[in-house]
Amino acid sequence: MAPAARVALALWPGGCALAWRLGGRPQLLLPTQNRAGFAGAAGGPGPVAATRKGSPRLLGAAALALGGALGLYHTARWHLRAQDLHAEHSATQLSLSSHLQLTLYQYKTCPFCSKVRAFLDFHALPYQVVEVNPVRRAEIKFSSYRKVPILVAQVGENSQQLNDSSVIISALKTYLVSGQPLEEIIAYYPAMKAVNDQGKEVTEFGNKYWLMLDEKEAQQVYGGKEARTEEMKWRQWADDWLVHLISPNVYRTPTEALASFDYIVREGKFGAVEGAVAKYMGAAAMYLISKRLKSRHHLQDNVREDLYEAANKWVAAVGKDRPFMGGQRPNLADLAVYGVLRVMEGLDAFDDLMQHTHIQPWYLRVERAITEASPAH
C-alpha cells in the first residue's frame, strides 16, 4: 500500500484503533431492580370511621387527601435524596479526577480519538493532547502498542498506559465511580493476540464494554440491568458498524476525498512535504480504497443511505421520551456515537447527515452537554 494510503487509514477508521466483537464477559453481579412503589394510606376503618358511618363521601375524601399528602411527601423526600446522591457522586468524581494527570496521544481526525475526547470533556477531566505524526509516529515511540488513541494516566507516583478507546473509557469511568486503583482496573481488560478477517495478527481487548463495578455501584450508575445492557450494545455498535461508515462517505467522490484530506492535513501534524503528499496522493488513494471498503462492509451503492439508516436507527433507539439514551444525561453510548460522527463536521457527509436524518436535535443536545461540562484546556 502506498505511504499516503497508509496515512489515510491511520487517520480514519479503522487504522487508528481496533473495532472488536465482544466475546467473553466477566461473571459480575448485575444490579437488581428493587423499585419500591409509594403506597397511599390504607387499612381498615379506624375510630373516626366507626363514629361517622353515615358520611362515606367525607371519609373517602379525607382518605384520598391523606393518601395524596403522604404520596407527595415520600415523592419529595425521594427526589431530594436522589439529588443528594447525585451531588455526592459528583463530588466523589471531582475528588478522584483531581488526582489524575492525563495525556492523550491522538490523531485529531480519528473517530476513536474523538470518542475519548468526548468522554474526557463531558466528565470534566483536564488532559493534555499530543498530536501524533501519522508517518513517523515518533511521539509514541515509547509504546509497543502502535495505534492511537493512547492515554497515559499519572496518579501520584504511578504512571499507567491505557490502550484502545473503549478500554480507556471503561477503565476511567470505573475509576471515577468505584475509586479502585487504576492499575488494578486495567488488569480487567487484558490484551490478547488474535487473527482478523484478513489473516493479520491484531491485538484485542477483553471486557472492554464493561464497567467493573459492584452491585451497589452499578445500581448507582444504571438504575437497572436493562440500561447497562443497552449502553454496552450501542457502544459496540458504534465500534463495529457506525465507525466503518465514515471512510466510504467522506471519500465517496474525488472532490469529497480531496476536501477530507485538506481537513486532515490542516488539523493534523504534518511537515510541509508530508502534507502536500498526503493531501493529493492520499485523496486519490483513499477514493479508490473507499470502494473496496464499501464492498467489504456490504454497503449500498449510495453509501449515504447506509449512513442515514444508521443515524435514524440510533435516534429510534433513543426514542422520543428521553433526551439521551442515558436519560437526562448522556451515557457512554451517547458519547461514543457523538464522538464518531463529530469527525465529519465541516464535510459534505456531515451536512447531508444533518439534513436528511432526524439526528440533529440529539446531536446538538450532546454537544451542548459536553460544552457545559468541559473545562478549558
Closest CA to 212 of 242, 180, 235: 180
CA dihedral angle for residue 51, residue 54, residue 58, residue 60, rounded to 10 degrees: 90
Asked about 113 being catalytic, the answer comes back as: yes
- Residue pointed to by grid coordinates 448522556: 330
Output 176-183 pairs: Cβ under 8 A, ≥24 positions apart. 176/92, 176/93, 176/96, 176/97, 176/123, 177/89, 177/93, 177/211, 177/213, 177/217, 177/220, 177/221, 178/212, 178/213, 178/214, 178/217, 179/92, 179/96, 180/212, 181/155, 182/153, 182/155, 182/158, 183/158
Q: Reply yes or no: is the peptide bond before residue 14 cis, omega within 30 of 0.
A: yes
* Residues β-bridged to residue 151: 104, 162
> Does the annotation count 16 as an active-site position?
no
Q: Which of 107, 122, 251, 363 is catalytic?
A: 107
Beta strands 100-106 and 127-131 are parallel
- The C-alpha cell 428493587 sits at 34
Q: What is the DSSP string of 99-167?
A: TEEEEEEE-TT-HHHHHHHHHHHHTT--EEEEEPPTTT-GGGTT-S--SS-EEEEEETTEEEEEESHHH
Q: Which residue of the set 16, 38, 73, 113 is catalytic? A: 113
Contact call for residues 336 and 234 (beta carbons, < 8 A)? yes
Please say if 112 is a catalytic residue.
yes
Angle between helices 332-342 and 225-240 (to 10 degrees): 20
> Annotated catalytic residue: which of 105, 112, 261, 350?
112
Q: Rounded CA gap, 13 and 16, in Å?
A: 6
Whether 110 is a known active-site residue: answer yes
DSSP 302: S
Per annotation, catalytic residue among 16, 38, 105, 110:
110
Point out the residues that are catalytic. 107, 110, 112-113
